[in-house]
Structure 1
Amino acid sequence: AANLGAILADHFARIHNIPAYITDPITVDNFPDIARISGVPGIVRKCRAHVLNIKAVAWAEASRVGKKLSEVNFVVAHMGGGISVAALAGGLIVDVNDGLLGMGPFSPERAGALPIGALVDLCYGGTYTRDEMIALLSNKSGLAGYLGETDLRKVEERIESGDAQAVLIYEAMCYQIAKEIGAAATALKGRIDGIILTGGMANSRRLTDILTDYVRFIAPVTLVPGEHEMKALAEGAIRALTGVETAKVYA
């Protein structure tokens, strides 16, 4: 959808003879070289995440505390069908897990980081094709794989009814998210002005309470539930038009 948006914006810009802007796409490239190294030559870590909402809530939180985004460091956890936990240094995403088919916590749909040996066995065991493996890891894992459910509210209903397996898997997901927040804090050398929990799952008081209990020793925790992407698109264009940010031209 993000890639299609650029094409549509260009189409309407040509019709109406006006500028078109794309702000904070899925893939940005602020990684320092050290963050690109994976451990296997030929495999490069990429900066791919829920950038639009991550940047939007970071801008808002910086404004709330009376600072420019360039003056603060945040860890932002965007939690939805996929989960991205980003380390922002002065507004730049200097590290983040790949929330689709990369590292990080499992999510309602996605597998997250896995033991490599077991993953290799699964790939070459003859049960799954390549496309089936991608579908399994990106759409049929996490809460969907363990509990057959991607709706966090329904999982919480099962917890309330005494479902012990739902409790275990839910708390394991929180545990993994908290560990990823800790890792992002380390990438910033502990120099953090705040931790922001956002995305659809941040509407859950149960989930945010568990996460806050894990990570509040690192930095103050702020909740910005939901996604604010339409507003973020407009605000990004306004920053370019008013000179707060300099628009870049991509050919």
Structure 2
Amino acid sequence: EVVVFDTSFHSTMPPKAYIYPIPWKYYENYKIRRYGFHGTSHRYVSHHIAHLMHQPIEDLKIISCHIGNGSSITAIEGGKVVDTSMGLTPLDGFMMGTRSGSLDPSIVTYIMKKDNLTPDEMDNILNRKSGLLGISGYADDRDVINAEIKGEPHAILAHQILYYQIAKYIGAYAAAMNGVDAITFEAGIGENQPELRYEVCRYLRYLGVKIDAVVNDDTVNGKEGKISAFDSQVSVYVIVTNEELMIARDTRSIVDKLTYAKTEDKTVVDPEDI
């Protein structure tokens, strides 16, 4: 059997990115640190975008935006993860379908005291009753879109918060890498929500990001490709992520190495020596 860990791609993060500023004993005793998730998707995207751009991955600074019901953004420089938005758990980062994302930790204890909640009850609120659902009343982004079209103010606000938070992470990661060559959008929402891509990239005009609105609107339903304008200083792509293919490639690579190792370990004996 071969096990591929979804966190393994993030193992190249430096301590300054994965250590939380809490007493050191919690890292030593419980290994509380940033691990990240969606690593298989981000890794696939980083290699695929290098192929599409006809450049070595070692030369690229990529910000990969995996936007679905669960979402994360990862900064990748030279094929290695510099930072990622999810942390010890998938709750960290920006708002998602039902997850709050990062917030002031004191909010948690404040609500628990006010509503007399147990840790499990509070965990359930943050993981299953927050995010888009908590603000708009809808967990599915397609329902939020329909409500936004109807003019529901909480749906409009939910999307405004989401787009703003995504743009903040991209801006932070561009700073962390001292630049960015490519920004990618993938997963269910990233691949199929042109409005999200357009609105997020509007925040990034200071980086020289420009979107081709016509191409952006047309790049949905399984289509992938470059959606940035010809004069954009940063390439922006929609990528149809393929985690299954990445896992299959990793599995094949591991099996091949194990098979080769077993072959090398075998001692060839001449029958006449017996």
TM-score by length of 2: 0.73
Write the letter of the residue equivalent to 2:116. T
3-state SS, counterpart of residue 29 of structure 1: helix
Q: Specify whether residues 23 and 62 from structure 1 end up closer, same or farther in structure 2 by C-alpha distance, changes over 3 A only.
A: farther
Q: Does the alignment pair 1:64 with 2:56?
A: no
Equivalence for 1:130: 119
Q: Does the alignment pair 1:147 with 2:136?
A: yes
- In 2, Cα distance between equivalents of 1:26 and 1:151: 26
- In 1, Cα distance between equivalents of 2:256 and 2:52: 20
Equivalence for 1:38: 20
Equivalence for 2:244: 230
- In 1, Cα distance between equivalents of 2:74 and 2:125: 24
Equivalence for 1:220: 235
Equivalence for 1:82: 70
Write the letter of the residue equivalent to 1:52. T
CA contact (8 A) 2:91 2:99 kept: no
After superposition, give the CA deviation of every residue in 1:10-30 in whole Å (9 maximum; x if it has no partner). 1xxxxxxxxx4x445235411
Deviation at 1:242, TM superposition (A): 7.8
Deviation at 1:113, TM superposition (A): 1.1
Deviation at 1:93, TM superposition (A): 1.3
CA contact (8 A) 2:91 2:127 kept: no
Deviation at 1:194, TM superposition (A): 0.8
3-state SS, counterpart of residue 94 of structure 1: strand
Matches within 5 A, 1:190-201: 190=179, 192-201=180-189
Give unpaired runs (5+ residues) of structure 1. 1-9, 11-19
3-state SS, counterpart of residue 195 of structure 1: strand
CA contact (8 A) 1:101 1:137 kept: no
CA contact (8 A) 2:108 2:122 kept: no
Deviation at 1:241, TM superposition (A): 6.8
Question: What is the number of residues matched between the two proteins?
Answer: 223
Q: Does the alignment pair 1:189 with 2:167?
A: no
Deviation at 1:152, TM superposition (A): 0.8
- In 1, Cα distance between equivalents of 2:59 and 2:256: 20
Deviation at 1:238, TM superposition (A): 4.9
Deviation at 1:240, TM superposition (A): 5.5
CA contact (8 A) 2:20 2:34 kept: no
Q: Specify whether residues 148 and 29 from structure 1 end up closer, same or farther in structure 2 by C-alpha distance, changes over 3 A only.
A: same
CA contact (8 A) 1:197 1:224 kept: yes
Deviation at 1:214, TM superposition (A): 1.7
Identical positions, percent:
27
Give unpaired runs (5+ residues) of structure 2. 208-233, 262-274
TM-score by length of 1: 0.80
After superposition, give the CA deviation of every residue in 1:176-206 in whole Å (9 maximum; x if it has no partner). 111011112222122x221111111111111
Write the letter of the residue equivalent to 1:220. S
* Residue in structure 1 matching 2:198, options 209, 224, 241: 209
Larger Rg: 2
Q: Specify whether residues 91 and 24 from structure 1 end up closer, same or farther in structure 2 by C-alpha distance, changes over 3 A only.
A: farther
